[in-house]
Amino acid sequence: MDIKLPRLAEGVESGTVVNILVKEGQQIKKDQPIMELETQKAVGSIPSPESGTVTKIHVKEGMEVAVGQALIAIDVEGDAVAAQSAQSNPVAAQKTVSERAQPAPPQTERPGAIQDQSVAHRYDAQSGAPPPAAPSIRKIARELGIDLTRVRGSEAGGRIVLDDLRAYIDRLQRLAFEAKAAAAEAPVDTGPRPAPGETMDFAKWGPVRREKMAPLRRTVSQRMVQSWTTIPKINQFDDADITALLALRKKYAPAYENGRARLTLTAFVVKAVAGALQKYPRANSSLDEAAHEIVYKDYRHIGIAVDTEGGLIVPVLRDADKKSLLEISSELHGLTERTRARKIALEELQGGSFTISNQGSIGGAHFTPIIYAPQVAILGIGQGAAKPVVIDGKIAARMVLPLCLAYDHRVLDGADAVRFLREIIHGLESFPEAEVKLN
């Protein structure tokens, strides 16, 4: 049987093979990982659905594979007869396997010609009549969702017959296969870049080293360009006095440690942000441009930007507004650990409605984060530091946390944004001890 790439998560249609963990002829057990696959933001392993012997590996490392595509073929255990006959007649067995594995065999001879034939054709009659095809053929096309104006008819007057429909589907499959193969070899278009002729020869000025962008890097790059070029963004700066908050943290941190959680500043911010989002739901919304509607979400799933070796990844902490500080603390810890180890599930990276990016542990003051579309706002946190602050006419040393709220001006106006940010700051400056206390 062929093991095909299963559905990984909503909206994820393909991935790149990073590592093949089995060899042809190898005995494998059910649920044993057969390969590692890198999708938009995570690397995951694909388990075998059955025990058996690997007879054929259909993919190569670096190849992009789509959901439903055959990855490897195995002889299932217990199916001894089949396995035996396969051994006694290796040619036939191999033929069957390759036939099944490649419903659309890559045609390497003349890919250009294929493209010309199938993509360029467009039926357009001056009379406005639909493409000539019998009602029975039109019914099949309708059922398969095929646009007959794309199909070239081979009969007199350009009439489309069943063979033409078959040939068209065949070509579509081949093209899809070639596109994937090409994608695995060539870097993905990441948006605006110098035309090929303008590529700089950096080596003129000294030795250089080139490194392929990892899929994750490419995804980050695409997302950032998309956000930067489509969202009219405003940055709102402010500071929070977290002297009292840090005292609370110091007081309760040991208790949290006992509860196997780390009471971090981020946990407090998540809690404060969740509260503020409840009061200002627009900051938790998305824009549906096509419908001219603002989509308000009745959940507050907070994305947390995590720095990993491979680059930026944003896992999502769900229903932050319904969780206690302890729950948030322990969940945050787990999420970041799994993200850094690249063991995070794809589902855990999806559905965020607001994002927090905390660079404070590394350093730095105010910075302007990029909005994680389709969200409409993101909070950037710098490093808290002791600063002189005027209180009641006197200068005092206080711990000050630099904050920046970047927001989408299509959805939020300046006044909304300031009110929302002040609400977060208020939440941090007067964080109720009752919420920190463990029972």
Partner 1 sequence: MEPIKSEIVVVGAGPGGYAAAFYAADRGKQVALVELNPRLGGVCLNAGCIPSKALLHATAILRETKASAARGIELGQARIDIEKLRAWKESILEKLGQGIKTLAQKRGVQLVYGRGHFEGSQTLRVETAEGQQFINYDKAIIAVGSKPAMPSAFDLGNRRIMTSTEALEIPEVPRDLLVVGGGYIGMELGTVYATLGSNVVVLEALPSILTGVDADLARPVTRAAQKLFKEIRLNTKVVKMATAGKQIKVTTQVGDEQRDEIYDRVLVSVGRAPNYIDLGLENTRVIKDDKSFIKCNAQQQTDDPNIYAIGDVNGGALLAHRATREARIAVEAMFGEPSAFENIVIPAVVYTDPEVAWCGLTETEAKQKGVEIKVAKFLWGASGRALTLDRPDGLTKLIIEPETERILGVGIAGAGAGELISEGVLAVEMGATARDIAESVHPHPTLSETLMEAAESFYGTATHALSKPAA
Active site (catalytic) residues:
409
When binding is defined by CB under 8 A, the residue of 81, 120, 156, 195 that contacts partner 1 is: 156
Separation between Cα atoms, residue 174 and residue 104, nearest integer Å? 5
Determine if 164 is a binding residue for partner 1 (CB under 8 A).
no
**Residue 226 CB neighbour total at 10 angstroms:** 13
Q: Nearest 5°: phi and psi at 316?
A: -120, 130
Are 72 and 3 in contact by the 8 Å Cβ rule? The answer is yes
When binding is defined by CB under 8 A, the residue of 10, 109, 143, 309 that contacts partner 1 is: 143
The residue (of 131 and 384) whose beta carbon lies closer to partner 1 is 131
Separation between Cα atoms, residue 13 and residue 34, nearest integer Å? 19
Q: Closest by alpha carbon to 30, among 65, 3, 62, 59?
A: 3
Separation between Cα atoms, residue 155 and residue 253, nearest integer Å? 80
Binding mask 100-139 for partner 1 (x = CB under 8 A): -------------------------xxxxxxxxxxx--x-
Give Rg (Cα) of the chain. 28
Minimum Å gap between C-beta 167 and partner 1 is 17
The residue (of 157 and 192) whose beta carbon lies closer to partner 1 is 157
SS3 235: strand
Minimum Å gap between C-beta 103 and partner 1 is 23
36: Cα within 13 Å, side-chain hemisphere: 9
The residue (of 135 and 206) whose beta carbon lies closer to partner 1 is 135
When binding is defined by CB under 8 A, the residue of 111, 158, 281, 311 that contacts partner 1 is: 158
Write the CA distances from 183 to 8, 43, 65, 178, 432, integer angstroms: 20, 18, 10, 8, 53
Number of residues that bind partner 1 (CB under 8 A): 21
The residue (of 130 and 191) whose beta carbon lies closer to partner 1 is 130
When binding is defined by CB under 8 A, the residue of 112, 157, 192, 232 that contacts partner 1 is: 157
When binding is defined by CB under 8 A, the residue of 159, 318, 340, 422 that contacts partner 1 is: 159
Determine if 153 is a binding residue for partner 1 (CB under 8 A).
yes
Minimum Å gap between C-beta 245 and partner 1 is 53
The residue (of 138 and 297) whose beta carbon lies closer to partner 1 is 138
The residue (of 68 and 130) whose beta carbon lies closer to partner 1 is 130
The residue (of 160 and 220) whose beta carbon lies closer to partner 1 is 160
Separation between Cα atoms, residue 130 and residue 149, nearest integer Å? 8
The stretch near partner 1 (CB under 8 A) out of 151-159, 198-206, 282-290, 292-300 is 151-159
Are 382 and 367 in contact by the 8 Å Cβ rule? The answer is yes
**Residue 246 CB neighbour total at 10 angstroms:** 14
The stretch near partner 1 (CB under 8 A) out of 5-13, 154-162, 300-308, 333-341 is 154-162
The residue (of 130 and 187) whose beta carbon lies closer to partner 1 is 130
Minimum Å gap between C-beta 7 and partner 1 is 22
Minimum Å gap between C-beta 175 and partner 1 is 24
Write the CA distances from 224 to 30, 221, 320, integer angstroms: 40, 5, 25
Minimum Å gap between C-beta 427 and partner 1 is 45
By the 10 Å C-beta count (0-12 exposed, 13-18 middle, 19+ buried), 173 is classed as middle
Separation between Cα atoms, residue 82 and residue 75, nearest integer Å? 8
Minimum Å gap between C-beta 141 and partner 1 is 10
Are 101 and 24 in contact by the 8 Å Cβ rule? The answer is no
Are 104 and 127 in contact by the 8 Å Cβ rule? The answer is no
Minimum Å gap between C-beta 124 and partner 1 is 11
Determine if 168 is a binding residue for partner 1 (CB under 8 A).
no
When binding is defined by CB under 8 A, the residue of 11, 145, 194, 207 that contacts partner 1 is: 145
Interface with partner 1 (CB under 8 A): 125-135, 138, 142-143, 145, 153, 156-160
